[in-house]
Amino acid sequence: MAVYPFHTLEKKWQQYWADRQTFRTPDEPVPGKPKYYILDMFPYPSGAGLHVGHPEGYTATDILARYKRMRGFNVLHPMGWDAFGLPAEQYALETGTHPRVTTERNIARFRQQLQSLGFSYDWTREVATTDPKYFRWTQWIFLKLYNSFYDPDLNRALPMALLEDALSDQPRRREDWAGSAYLDGTHAGYLQTPPEQRMAARAGLLRHMRLAYQAEVAVNWCPALGTVLANEEVIDGKSERGGHPVIRRPMRQWMLKITAYAERLLVDLDTLDWPDSIKEMQRNWIGKSEGAEVDFPVSLKPSAFSPQPLSIRVFTTRPDTLFGATYMVLSPEHALVDQITTPEQRAAIKAYQEAAARKSDLERTELQKTKTGCFTGAYALNPVNGEKIPIWIADYVLATYGTGAIMAVPAHDERDFEFARTFNLPIVEVIVPGGSAAVPAALAGVPSASKAAGGTSAATRGTRVLPFTGDGVNVNSANAEISINGLPTPEAKQKITAWLAGKGIGQAKVNYKLRDWLFSRQRYWGEPFPVIFVDGQPQPLPADALPLELPEVATYTLSGTGESPLATIPAWLNTTDPATGRPAVRESNTMPQWAGSCWYYLRFIDAHNDRALVDPAKEKYWMPVDLYVGGAEHAVLHLLYARFWHKVLYDAGVVSTQEPFQRLVNQGMILGEVEYTAFYDESGAPVSAEFAGDDHRDTRTMAKLVAERIEEEFVEKQGDFFVLRENSAIRVTARAFKMSKSRGNVINPDDVVRDYGADTLRLYEMFMGPLEQVKPWSMKGVEGVHRFLNRVWRLFVDDRADALLPELVAVAPTRDQLRWLHRTIQDVTADLDTLRFNTAISTMMEFVNECQRWTQRPRAVLETFVLLLSPFAPHLAEELWQRLGHAGTLAYEPWPACDAACLVQDTMEIPVQVNGKLRGKVTVPTGAAQAEIVAAAQAEAAIAPHLAGKTIRKQIFVPGRLLNLVVG
RNA sequence: GCCCGGGUGGUGGAAUGGCAGACACAAGGGACUUAAAAUCCCUUGACCGCAAGGUCGUGCGGGUUCGAGUCCCGCCCCGGGCACCA
């Protein structure tokens, strides 16, 4: 068999690298040597083992790590485990196996699989989030969060001690908070508070200003998983993991105040070299909108049920439409609902509130087509025109955004329009499309107010269709004091906002969609919170009490009350306050999986430090991460949380950079092999795919169809479609699907390594196409790159003799050979610098195809080629390098340099176009002048006829590239 | 609905506004072999033609340009994300 001995050779070099710690990065920074920190996204070591999607990104980073080492960089390329996670605990529930046991077994398998692929990780820096030595520092960061507050004036986090100081009669650290208008103001406010109220006010502020705080909030409770989930972990009302239903339920939770960082998380995106799509997703998630808050006085008939004047504050991005506000809507949970509801409406409102509370997120989304709501019986006054407008409640207004209340402008908002139509509420148009020039004419025909016509899809005013939600020009928008009529939208917004502010009934306001991060999980298998409760008040553990470890338990059964299993272990739960010796209770929730992955990139820098999370000098040397590669599924979860923690650590002086990941690249998903599917009806007769609906029914008859996978040989392409070979009227579908167990199209990397070797797998993963792109797997393609590696082997080695070939000689290379080599160096280098691994491999294939033809192969040329290949197929390259007579690894050999002098040729071939059409080519001396080339073209047999009898009107000459003759 | 990507041979893909289809797979033909495997060589976008050669061709329709897969405008289709956020 003429296959190179990849098995023995790959094992041999993996052993060699491990024995000599070839890829160990020096513990201390290397002064003067440029650093390169290249990081893979932290894998969760699942029981299923490695998937072919994993090695895609890992191979890319490994190739680059090896390349950068050869270019003289001090490279940090680590690997570790995001090891807390629900599956191990679910498994514990079923089998009683400790999650730690399962996790360690899975880690061992993952590690072994990764090592079998020859990745050049520095394994001495391996970390796992489940290791107490690691989560000690996760807990330490939590304490930082707990002991910090956000100063909106300085726009950074500060120690709680400063806020405590400001909230005291005689501050002692005033110089520490100099420059903070916020703390000055807080202190002044404190002094104005009557002394008997100060303690309570102080405690209240301290409680809610912390970056880690507790709140009783409506959470996404997933009964099946027995835990709450973050908003980001709920997809379409179901859990992201497992697809279980999720309901709303109020619970005491730890929250992290990520909202304080919303603006910085938003603006600092501009400094990052990340894919635009990811940045855009984060921008959308943060969801900044600028507008105004406006107070609407509640108009109550003088009566007993409201002794004080009330007002309702709303947030709007369109204060310019204020004159068109014809009703208000509060969210069903709004605090004022009870106070304003009239006795007649009380029962109806109560019923509506209860119905809304019961709805799950899923139901809320499903029911969004029809607007529901209930009138409170109360009215408010539109502050700009004094109109009395009804106040409703409706679940299309969210309690958690803005103020939980809106002013409804049905003429200029889709939702308000729909609601107004449903409940027959007035619609007043105050914006007309177009520039200011169009205003006078438009003004004339606009009625001041009109009732909505129920039933039609949109109301029409003249030629205009409502709702009109774009920018335009104001009409109908004036009172005795102010007019914004005729103003274009941006100016109208500005003018009315200034007027509102002057009257003290409104102000400019910025809002974010981003909500605080719900940080508690009711599970066993996670980091315990370093918090105890004394008399019900939370108290952080001192840093020297860390790590707080998980207790051993007899059973992993959920408590059933929504509490963590930890709550059922009195021996662990009940403790004493180390400060006072008084009885205390531990926090029984644990942290979510994202906690450990928020900062792991810092730990890799100084993995075994037991005095600090990371040594500052090392952090300064290695940060930021130069290249971060992983899947796009982490766009708003991990990547936003990690940026948030990093900024907190920056404010605390623990890290020196504002952002952790300078450059981010997303690898595209790898799909299964392309599948052809034909459809058959019940009688077994084939049905063309164009008639097969999504639900596998015939779209014409609605008869049920059977989908059947068929082999490629029975299919051919006809026009734009694939059809059955035996019956071309029957179309079949051709598609690659996501790999899944149920579909049975999962490729196991172990099988590929066994049959073709690790170098083949690495090469194929990169050869499939651009890294970022989604692409289907093809076993035939694997064989293709495997053949290439065999050809490389035979370039050097005589199969039968197992020795170097006689063709491989120490002769001086010809100019032609040198040109091939240096062109290859040039292209491979450029491709590596731009992460175009697929074309780098193509270039090397071309080189090998050419090299095979050489009867004499200059040793120096081939040695250089081995170095070019080595980042891609390191085992094969090391073996060839050794056989060529070198001692030791090639991992730190200098990367070959391209000599431009070797690239020049004596002659060049120039394509010649006539009137933009390619008509032929001429071969001329390199550097030939335009006139020479034109002369050569006129003499060329293929070109001359197209010029005959015509005059050349124009010559377009791109030196070295092309000549275009325009004739007529 | 909104926001991102993307549509190039039978397939994966390649092409700083300058030779469309590199490289690889598949298919067909040939060499070697008693035979097979492996390997090597040739052909391979479509159409017309014996050939030389010609015409067409990068989802569709326009435009800019000497020249467009690439830039601009308007559509269609596929994939991903978000979605009552006022």
pLDDT tens-place string over residues A374-418: 999 999 999 999 999 999 999 899 888 999 999 999 999 989 999
pLDDT reading at A762 higher than 80:
yes
Q: How far is CA A178 from the centre of its chain?
A: 38
Over the stretch A501-542, which tens digit does the pLDDT of each residue have?
Answer: 999 999 999 999 999 998 988 889 999 999 999 998 999 999
Q: Decide the pairing of beta strands A731-738 and A721-724.
A: antiparallel
User: Closest nucleotide (CA of A414 to C1')?
Assistant: B84
Whole-number mean pLDDT of chain A?
A: 88
Element (H, E) at A864: helix A859-869
Residue A420 exposure: Cα atoms within 13 Å on the Cβ side: 31
Nearest nt to the CA of A790 via C1' is B39
Spatial neighbors of A267 by CB under 8 A, at least 6 apart, are none
Q: Between the CA of A234 and the C1' of B51, what is the distance in angstroms?
A: 69
Residue type, A489: T
Per-residue CB contacts under 7 A with strand B, chain A residues 138-197: none
Q: What pLDDT sits at residue A450?
A: 39
pLDDT at A458: 42
Name the residues in A604-663 having a C-beta closer than 7 Å to nucleic acid strand B. Answer: 632-633, 635-636
The stretch A36-43 carries a mean pLDDT of 95
Question: Is the CB of A775 within 7 Å of strand B?
Answer: yes
Residue nearest to nucleotide B22 (CA to C1'): A842
Q: What is the pLDDT of residue A368?
A: 56
| Structure token digits, residue A455 | 């039933």
Nucleic acid strand B within 7 Å of A956 CB = yes
- Which residues 231-260 of A interface with strand B at a CB distance below 7 A? 231-232, 235
Strand B and chain A: which residues 294-333 have CB closer than 7 Å? 315-318, 331
- Which nt is closest to the CA of A966, judged by C1'? B66
Give the 3-state DSSP-derived string for A288-320, with helices as H, strands as E and coil as C. EEEEEEEEEEEECCCCCCCCCCCEEEEEECCHH
**CB-CB contact of A666 with A772 (8 Å):** yes
- CB neighbour burial string for A78-92, b if at least 16 within 10 angstroms, e if fewer: bbbbbbbbbbbbbbb
Q: Specify the amino acid at residue A874.
A: P
Supply A959's token pair: 């030196």
pLDDT band at A435 (very low <50, low <70, confident <90, very high): low
pLDDT at A821 over 70: yes
A582 beta carbon to strand B: under 7 Å: no
Between the alpha carbon of residue A565 and those of residues A174, A409, A416, A421, A906, the distances in Å are 45, 49, 46, 50, 79
Q: Which nucleotides of B are covered by protein (CB under 7 A)?
A: 3-5, 10-16, 18-20, 22-26, 38-41, 53-55, 66-68, 79-86
Partners of A239 in the beta sheet? A234
**Cβ of A424 near strand B (distance < 7 A):** no
pTM summary value: 0.92
Instruction: Check if the beta carbon of residue A953 is closer than 8 Å to that of residue A967.
Output: yes
Nucleotide with minimal C1' distance from the CA of A775 is B12
Which nucleotide minimizes the distance between its C1' and the CA of A365? B84
A281 CA: nearest nucleotide by C1': B81
State which residues between 822 and 861 of chain A bring their CB within 7 Å of strand B.
836, 838-839, 841-842, 845-846, 849, 852-853
Q: Find out whether A674 and A776 touch, Cβ atoms under 8 Å.
A: yes
The reply to whether the CB atom of residue A281 sits less than 7 A from any atom in nucleic acid chain B is: yes
Give the per-residue pLDDT at A365. 58
- Please say whether the beta carbons of A891 and A69 come within 8 A: yes
Position A560 scores a pLDDT of 66
| Closest to A386 (Cα-Cα) out of A462, A479, A302, A305 | A479
The token pair that represents A4 in the structure block: 């190179």
In this prediction, residue A237 carries a pLDDT of 66
Nearest nucleotide by C1' from A636 CA?
A: B81
pLDDT tens digits, A933-959: 998 888 888 888 888 878 888 889 988
Q: Cα–Cα distances in Å, from A56 out to A53, A766, A768, A786, A836?
A: 5, 7, 10, 17, 13
Distance, Å, A466 CA → B3 C1': 24
Residue A463, pLDDT above cutoff 70: no
For residue A443, name the pLDDT band (cuts at 50, 70, 90).
very low
Looking at chain A, the whole-number percentage of residues with pLDDT higher than 90 is 61
Closest CA to the C1' of B38: that residue is: A2
pLDDT of the residue at A462: 47
Q: Could you tell me the CA-to-CA distances from A60 to A39, A187, A626, A668, A858 in Å, in that order?
A: 10, 55, 14, 12, 31
Q: Is the pLDDT of residue A255 over 50?
A: yes
Note whether A464 and A427 are within 8 A (CB).
Answer: no
Q: Using the predicted structure, report yes or no on whether residue A252 has a pLDDT greater than 90.
A: no
CA atom of A12 to C1′ atom of B14, Å = 36
Q: Tell me, what's the pLDDT at A236?
A: 65
Residue A954 contacts strand B, CB under 7 A: yes
Give per-residue pLDDT as tens, A659-698.
999 999 999 999 998 888 888 888 888 888 888 876 778 8
Amino acid at residue number A856: Q
Indicate the DSSP class of residue A369.
Answer: G
Residue A465 β-bridge partners:
A460
Please report the pLDDT score of residue A455 as a whole number.
34
What string of DSSP letters covers A536-570? TEEEEPPGGG---PPPP-S-----SSSS-GGGG-H
- The pair of three-digit structure tokens given for residue A748, joined into one six-digit string: 């196991």
Strand B reaches within 7 A of the A576 CB: no
